[in-house]
Structure 1
Amino acid sequence: MKSIILSFLFIASIHNLFAQNGSLTGRVKSGDSDVENITVKIVGLNKSAKTDPSGNYQINQLPIGKHTIIFSGLGYQSKKAVLALSDSPAILNVELLESESNLNDVVITGVNRATQLRKSPVPIAVMSKKAMDQNMNTNLIDAIVKGVPGVSAVTTGPNVSKPFIRGLGYNRVLTLYDGVRQEGQQWGDEHGIEVDEYGISRAEVVKGPASLTYGSDALAGVINMIPYSPNFDDGNLKGDFTTNYQSNNGMLGASFGLAYHKNDWKYTVRATGKTAHNYYNKIDGLVYGTAFREYNLSASARLDKKWGFSKTAITYYDNLMEIPDGSRDSLTRKFTKQISDAADDIKNRPIVPDDQLKSYSINPLHQHIQHYRLYNTSQFKFRNSDLNVLLGAQQSVRREYNHPTAPNQAGLYVVLNTLNYDFKYNLPDFSGIESTLGINGMLQGNRSKDATDFPIPDYNLFDIGAFYFAKKSMGKIDVSGGIRLDRRKMQWSDFYVGTNQQTGFGEQAQASNPLANLQFPAFKKNYYGLSGSIGLTYNVSERLLIKANIARGYRAPNITEIGSNGLDPGAHIVYLGNRGFKPEFNLQQDIGLIAYLKDAELSLELFNNSIQNYIYQSRLTDANGNPVVIVPGNLTYQYQQSKARLYGAEISINLHPSNVKWLSVNNSLSYVVGLNKNEELLKKHGADAKYLPFIPPLQIRSEIKATAQQNIGVFDKPYLRIDGAFYADQNRFYALDETETFTKGYSLFNIGIGSTLKTKNGKVLFDVLAQVDNIFNTAYQSNLNRLKYFEYYSESPNGRSGIYNMGRNISVKIIVPIN
């Protein structure tokens, strides 16, 4: 590693420029406001700068003569200027217009350096904090699902949503926090992301293989959650107090954040708390085991200098979340609770009292998840290039308490430690080619503590990958692509499990114990992956783009897929892995058409994804077709591997009539089909094995939004929005051994209203947003809702099986600025 870093520094040190004798300074504004982080680039010279918080910029050592200068930045229309430089300092001030289209948005995810959306051939979607606020939900991923076509989520209650992109999820979707890959036992069904939703100012979603930049686990795409960074005048203290209430589960949320900018330093700090009781729907009533309580703390400090910047940040996440199991009284269908361990009789459990169903207290059967993150990201600028370094350390602590007779004894207790490293060197432009060399990966160790269940062994993992990425603009065509090589080493020693003679529970044992069972024999293996991509964007005109991309992705099997052999208490599933699995590889083709017209934005994205060695879960049955029960009251799943194919489309039609400025109509359609290509399985089981699990059905979203074009009293341009989500029947599901069942289609309607309140002199008082989800209190089950399958009886008095999704929910959010 040391030699690699020295090589980067050596490469950076050998680039020199001939003496220059001109300079350019100026200021960038939009209306009456200065604009920070606008890129000012001299075309053909590989010279650029960014504006500071006062909108000022400066570029030195420029040759005398005529130059073309381009000003571009997030949320603003690009502007081009031509200027003749002499040996005297030149001044060029410009004013930028806000962009109605996101085509000129600058993205940082899945590219080698900040890139305009229009120039990236890979499908990337951006969601702003404003859009996330207006798509209020109980967690950040559900808000992204509402706003980005092609993104769905497997849910376990209201506080756990695992993102899926175009039908692929789990370790195939890489989640990032400020560019740092999120590592927190994400293999589990009920393991959500560990991020403070109130502290996120922007989300960028890459749809398709992003293994080139990130390595394994980005086979389906990337979701990068970018925290707030201050952007205001020097010496000011700003912040916000946000409070949120939701009626269905009584959720109360509060978040307090401050940011301070002084000279070259920027500081942020935020504290958040959320709590909720069980959620409600009209079929099940209050769903026992879905309450949660969450706390978050974060802080950062950033130093900006001429040589670059350095940012250090720390975050802490703490979540107490109940574990639902869906057990009920067979006649009344009221929820029951487990009160014993060895003598537990599911059919004779006591009914949960009404006062416990609406209590904010967390019941004894719950999960306690803690996540600590410390990282530094820095950029070192050289004359014509820059080196970006990211180093991070994180720890995930997960306890799952599943013993009612010993409530302080964790069933699952695992501690995951991860060290992340990422080095990217942006080389000087050569013949108009922008290129990047990079090396990144992680060192990881997982250890079980005082637990009774051991679904995975203690393991060590080392990940390293190197890549080269380049892009070039040639008139109307933007081309980009690259290649990457990865190596992942996975190993563990013999892991023995025995029985504690005093408690009767399982425990980790020594090999010398004659009663010990070798649950995880020693394992050691290296996985290698070659990935790459090539794509282009053809700018037919400023408002019409055609994009095409082909990419090969790579993913090494995760720990549960190759090593699992035990009960995960929180999921109520016994997992069985396969040590012989090979890495997954996929080849995906994307083609897209984007049109930004005077009165509308249109986009069409088509994709075809072929996967080798696709890994998926399937219920285990015996020779007679009966479910295998290893731990009573829990399902048993065994991982399978085969070929697979996914294909589909996303269509967006967003109307904003120029002669009716107050009106916008946004529509999207998402469609994906997942086919199991295991020929042997298909011959034996036919249609039951034809499709892949966890594939979302056809869905259409439509929104009508009216926004006032002027203030109405103290209300600053209030808006009213009505939207509907329409889900088709999902009759293309993995039916083998009843792993999945048919899911009936449904329609949900929502309404929202909001505004900023200002005084007569223009001072902002606060923002208020209100929203009603599922207006008509529709009873429905999403095919991606895991609780749908929490059922212990083959028949029920009301003909309903499993647990239904949340009913009507009224949300109110107030954001009070602090100046």
Structure 2
Amino acid sequence: MKLLLLSFTFLIFGLVASAQNGFIKGSITSNGSPAPNITIKVVGRNQITKSDQKGFYILKNLPTGALELQFSGVSYKTKRIQTMVESDTLMISTDLSSLESNLDEVVVTGVNRATALRKSPVPIAVLTKKTMDQNVNTNLIEAIVKGVPGVTAVTTGPNVSKPFIRGLGYNRVLTLYDGLRQEGQQWGDEHGIEVDEYGISRAEVVKGPASLTYGSDALAGVINMIPYTPMQEDGKLTGDFTTNFQSNNGMVGASLGLAYIKNDWKYSFRASGKAAHNYYNKVDGYVFGTAFREYNVSASARVDKSWGYSKTAITYYNNLMEIPDGSRDSLSRRFTRQVLDDGDDIKNRPLVSDQDLKRYSINPLHQHIQHYRFYNASQFKFGSSDLNILMGGQQSVRREYNHPTAPKQAGLYVVLNTLNYDVKYNLPDFAGIESTLGVNGMYQSNRSKDATDFPIPDYDLFDIGAFYFAKKSFGKLDISGGVRMDRRNINWNNFYVGTDAQTGFGRKSDVSDEMADLQFPSFNRNYYGFSGSIGLTYNLSEKFLFKANIARGYRAPNITEIGSNGLDPGAHIVYLGNRTFKPEFNLQQDIGVIAYLQDADISLEIFNNNIQNYIYQSRLTDENGTPVVVVPGNLTYQYQQSKARLYGAELSVNLHPASAKWLNFNNSFAYVVGLNKNEELLRLHGREAKYLPFIPPLQIRSELKATAQKSIGVFSKPYVKVDAVLFADQNKFYALDNTETFTKGYTLFNAGVGSPIKSKSGKTILDLFVQVDNIFNVAYQSHLNRLKYFEYYEASPNGRSGIYNMGRNMSFKVVVPF
């Protein structure tokens, strides 16, 4: 009996084995090109695989007989094929049709894995390189501001733009480079984004709390700047040379990019540089202290295999940027320069010569910022699941030179080292649920070097967070959400500051120096944050959908908010922090309606954001209302904390008549109100304390663009466009202690033309872009322009106060591919 049972068991296993020996191999293309990352599923069985970077795939251990295969991928129409599997290997190749709707564009930011826009309940905007090239700007953030409603920027001259999303900025907007969080002391007003704009091929913007995936510092949203990935022919070296010129500040830029593919390896390299003298407007003339010089180098190598991929990259950023302070002659309003340390009189400095205003050489008083980045991103496939690991190291070196009698002595000299880690495991689908487990965070240390000013202490930071994210489709309904828990530790030891007997400048000291002051008493604290989100997208049709999302965000106080106690030379501000601050938490509700119709694209997004423990800057005054001056010639700000609420809407109406395919009329509207909910301040000061600082005014943009549908001579489908941007008066500002003032509205008109230029053989020789901003040379001050407040007199002969934005500017950009 036992022998019979054993024989029967072997027979069953043999039949099963013989029935599971079918193989299917094949390739997937779309319009003749390989289609990577396509999901191939055996319908009715838990067998799934994906195509590699060349479109190839394989399915093993299939039962013989009739099977149905489903091919699906983001931006492609799903396709099903009936087939018969025998004992031999079956070859099946198929071609997928791409979806035309922008709703099916793939995004990777703020989601657990590559996802179509139509399936994400979180508002996400995508900006392509083509769009950024046509929005010729002095920096990348300004190009994003032009292209994405609801995104603005606080500026300190043409080379420093800090992104704000729906009225929130600084550490509340998390900036990423290729998915790696950017860490470069971005807490300061005058600290820009340390990224090579020429090397960015795509930008993705998440509008709303993204703490679920990224943890602290994504309270307002995320901007992910994605570099170029080679996709050209195997064994062929390709690249591009880009150069551009801007008339207003004489900016000259150039960039050389190279790319090479050999078998499974992809290599890329880029070197860039740009330089500019001071910019010009008709009120101030040339604005002293706004020249800059920037250099960038980057390289990457990526290998794609059947097990997944691995990419290693390195970047280097080097920026020399002058420090404006706005000092002038009281009568002529000409800019003056500081030449003394001791005995300096702001109102009695020598005039800056006309020759110095137009020079490309950098003044002795300047910032020198260097940023180094090295990282590896890898994916390991395990059948229907995959593991994604991102590890990166960064170093930010910042020197600010503010001593005219000792130009080689840095006033601020800090080195920030950061180690980032991010591990995500995309679990196998279960009952149609796609889910992800993840852990990410960073270790960070900041150290002051040979400096004279110490606005923040030497600190150490350790950050860790874990999350779970899941999504599921129910026909036309897509639901996604998850939860996350974070812990952040910040600590520092006693930090003493003394005086150098020889120079008279400040210096870092220790407890043994009897004359030293304890500027930063020791500190050690843990911050905890619970965050999460849940949302849905309902596809009423292929081209019309409704979105709703509710999310809780978390942000631990940054180092300057809790630890600052000194002068930041580049900002000309003494910051005073508060060690008792609690983490910020917000609860935001988003509702959106999107329609991609035959003749128009329409989207409406409405949001409401309530924030607990909101941290903001306020000018410090004494009991008589007189501004407190700790360091002569510099303002003093103290951080405050209260409840806050922000609400608003963004509307886009883009018309593209089917009967006139050459015509586009794009329009956008963005409005946000920021309310300070500090009841005590409201009771004592009323309207002066009603609103939050740094809230952009109502903004309307309209662009009329005509694009030829065929070549005109050597010009391949050239375009011409005109646009206008209207900024309303901003009378809803934080007026307490004159922290902010009323900003008058203005309208700017711009125009541009461009086209690829092709040879007789049809090959593109170059891409040409010409842009004129502020055509009518309007004198204006943006409400988010920090230079607006660089003023040392209560009145001026021309009735103008502070520094104005850039005047008319003509830009030329040429991209030569090879």
Tell me if structure 1 keeps the 8 A contact 2:151–2:166. Answer: yes
SS in structure 2 at match of 1:397: strand
Q: Which amino acid aligns with 1:214?
A: Y
Tell me if structure 2 keeps the 8 A contact 1:200–1:228. Answer: yes
CA apart distance, 1:71 = 3.6
**Residue 258 in structure 1 maps to residue 265 in structure 2:** no
- Name 1:742's counterpart in structure 2: 742
- Name 1:542's counterpart in structure 2: 542
* Cα distance change, pair 265–416 in 1 and its aligned pair in 2 (3 A): same
Deviation digits for residues 612-632 of structure 1 (CA, Å, limit 9, x no counterpart): 000000000000001000001
* Cα distance change, pair 21–152 in 1 and its aligned pair in 2 (3 A): farther
Tell me, in whole angstroms, the C-alpha distance in 2 between the residues paired with 1:592 and 1:268: 39
CA apart distance, 1:21 = 4.2
CA apart distance, 1:92 = 4.5
- Name 2:73's counterpart in structure 1: 72
SS in structure 1 at match of 2:519: strand
Tell me if structure 2 keeps the 8 A contact 1:665–1:704. Answer: yes
- Name 1:37's counterpart in structure 2: 36
* Cα distance change, pair 383–100 in 1 and its aligned pair in 2 (3 A): closer
Tell me, in whole angstroms, the C-alpha distance in 1 between the residues paired with 2:130 and 2:749: 21
Tell me, in whole angstroms, the C-alpha distance in 2 between the residues paired with 1:25 and 1:671: 53
Deviation digits for residues 305-348 of structure 1 (CA, Å, limit 9, x no counterpart): 11111111000000000000000000000100000011100111
Q: Which amino acid aligns with 2:480?
A: S
Gaps of 5+ in 2: 1-16
CA apart distance, 1:27 = 3.9
TM-score by length of 1: 0.96
1:341-352 maps to which residues of 2 (within 5 A)?
A: 341-352=341-352
1:323-722 maps to which residues of 2 (within 5 A)?
A: 323-722=323-722
- Name 1:81's counterpart in structure 2: 80
- Name 1:766's counterpart in structure 2: 766
Q: Which amino acid aligns with 1:82?
A: I
Deviation digits for residues 578-616 of structure 1 (CA, Å, limit 9, x no counterpart): 000000000000111111111111111111000000000
- Name 1:234's counterpart in structure 2: 234
Tell me if structure 1 keeps the 8 A contact 2:132–2:143. Answer: yes
Q: Which amino acid aligns with 1:72?
A: G
* Cα distance change, pair 499–233 in 1 and its aligned pair in 2 (3 A): same
Further displaced range: 22-31 or 541-550: 22-31
Tell me, in whole angstroms, the C-alpha distance in 2 between the residues paired with 1:508 and 1:727: 46
Tell me if structure 2 keeps the 8 A contact 1:78–1:104. Answer: no
SS in structure 2 at match of 1:525: strand
Tell me, in whole angstroms, the C-alpha distance in 2 between the residues paired with 1:683 and 1:632: 32
Deviation digits for residues 38-66 of structure 1 (CA, Å, limit 9, x no counterpart): 5234266462313534x444444455544
- Name 2:5's counterpart in structure 1: none
Q: Percent identity?
A: 74
Deviation digits for residues 20-39 of structure 1 (CA, Å, limit 9, x no counterpart): 544444444444x4144352
- Name 1:146's counterpart in structure 2: 146
Deviation digits for residues 529-569 of structure 1 (CA, Å, limit 9, x no counterpart): 00010011111111111111100010000000000000000
Tell me if structure 2 keeps the 8 A contact 1:49–1:59. Answer: no
SS in structure 2 at match of 1:717: coil
Q: Which amino acid aligns with 1:675?
A: L
Tell me, in whole angstroms, the C-alpha distance in 2 between the residues paired with 1:294 and 1:425: 38
Tell me, in whole angstroms, the C-alpha distance in 1 between the residues paired with 2:455 and 2:170: 17
Deviation digits for residues 233-260 of structure 1 (CA, Å, limit 9, x no counterpart): 2111111100011111000000001011
- Name 1:115's counterpart in structure 2: 115
CA apart distance, 1:404 = 0.4
**Residue 50 in structure 1 maps to residue 51 in structure 2:** yes
- Name 1:6's counterpart in structure 2: none
Tell me, in whole angstroms, the C-alpha distance in 1 between the residues paired with 2:200 and 2:164: 19
Q: Which amino acid aligns with 1:734?
A: Y
- Name 1:202's counterpart in structure 2: 202
SS in structure 1 at match of 2:198: helix
SS in structure 2 at match of 1:392: strand
SS in structure 1 at match of 2:683: helix
* Cα distance change, pair 401–674 in 1 and its aligned pair in 2 (3 A): same
Report how many residues are paired. 798
Tell me, in whole angstroms, the C-alpha distance in 1 between the residues paired with 2:639 and 2:804: 27
**Residue 178 in structure 1 maps to residue 171 in structure 2:** no
* Cα distance change, pair 513–150 in 1 and its aligned pair in 2 (3 A): same
Tell me if structure 2 keeps the 8 A contact 1:370–1:397. Answer: yes
Tell me, in whole angstroms, the C-alpha distance in 2 between the residues paired with 1:672 and 1:218: 19
Q: Which amino acid aligns with 2:370?
A: Q
Q: Which amino acid aligns with 1:448?
A: S
CA apart distance, 1:90 = 4.6
SS in structure 1 at match of 2:744: coil
- Name 2:8's counterpart in structure 1: none
- Name 1:12's counterpart in structure 2: none
* Cα distance change, pair 305–801 in 1 and its aligned pair in 2 (3 A): same
* Cα distance change, pair 664–121 in 1 and its aligned pair in 2 (3 A): same
* Cα distance change, pair 626–309 in 1 and its aligned pair in 2 (3 A): same
SS in structure 2 at match of 1:715: coil
CA apart distance, 1:77 = 4.3
Q: Which amino acid aligns with 1:40?
A: T
Tell me if structure 1 keeps the 8 A contact 2:49–2:57. Answer: no
SS in structure 2 at match of 1:688: helix
CA apart distance, 1:749 = 1.1
Tell me, in whole angstroms, the C-alpha distance in 1 between the residues paired with 2:296 and 2:755: 27
- Name 1:11's counterpart in structure 2: none
CA apart distance, 1:465 = 0.4
Tell me if structure 1 keeps the 8 A contact 2:566–2:574. Answer: yes
Tell me, in whole angstroms, the C-alpha distance in 2 between the residues paired with 1:295 and 1:763: 31
1:795-806 maps to which residues of 2 (within 5 A)?
A: 795-806=795-806
1:265-280 maps to which residues of 2 (within 5 A)?
A: 265-280=265-280
* Cα distance change, pair 253–98 in 1 and its aligned pair in 2 (3 A): farther
SS in structure 2 at match of 1:531: strand
Tell me, in whole angstroms, the C-alpha distance in 2 between the residues paired with 1:19 and 1:812: 66
CA apart distance, 1:19 = 8.8
SS in structure 2 at match of 1:273: strand
Deviation digits for residues 674-722 of structure 1 (CA, Å, limit 9, x no counterpart): 0000001100000000000000111011111111111111111111111
Further displaced range: 555-564 or 716-725: 716-725
- Name 1:8's counterpart in structure 2: none
Q: Which amino acid aligns with 2:627?
A: P
Tell me, in whole angstroms, the C-alpha distance in 2 between the residues paired with 1:627 and 1:147: 39
Q: Which amino acid aligns with 2:253?
A: G
Q: Which amino acid aligns with 1:34?
A: S
Tell me, in whole angstroms, the C-alpha distance in 1 between the residues paired with 2:650 and 2:23: 47
**Residue 293 in structure 1 maps to residue 265 in structure 2:** no
Gaps of 5+ in 1: 1-16
Q: Which amino acid aligns with 1:86?
A: V
Further displaced range: 541-550 or 756-765: 756-765
Q: Which amino acid aligns with 1:52?
A: Q
Tell me, in whole angstroms, the C-alpha distance in 1 between the residues paired with 2:479 and 2:22: 32
Q: Which amino acid aligns with 1:519?
A: Q
CA apart distance, 1:657 = 1.0
CA apart distance, 1:94 = 4.2
Tell me, in whole angstroms, the C-alpha distance in 2 between the residues paired with 1:163 and 1:46: 44
Tell me if structure 2 keeps the 8 A contact 1:281–1:804. Answer: yes
CA apart distance, 1:386 = 0.9
Q: Which amino acid aligns with 2:71?
A: I
Tell me, in whole angstroms, the C-alpha distance in 1 between the residues paired with 2:138 and 2:253: 10
Tell me if structure 2 keeps the 8 A contact 1:36–1:231. Answer: no
Deviation digits for residues 409-452 of structure 1 (CA, Å, limit 9, x no counterpart): 00000000000011111111110111111001000000000000
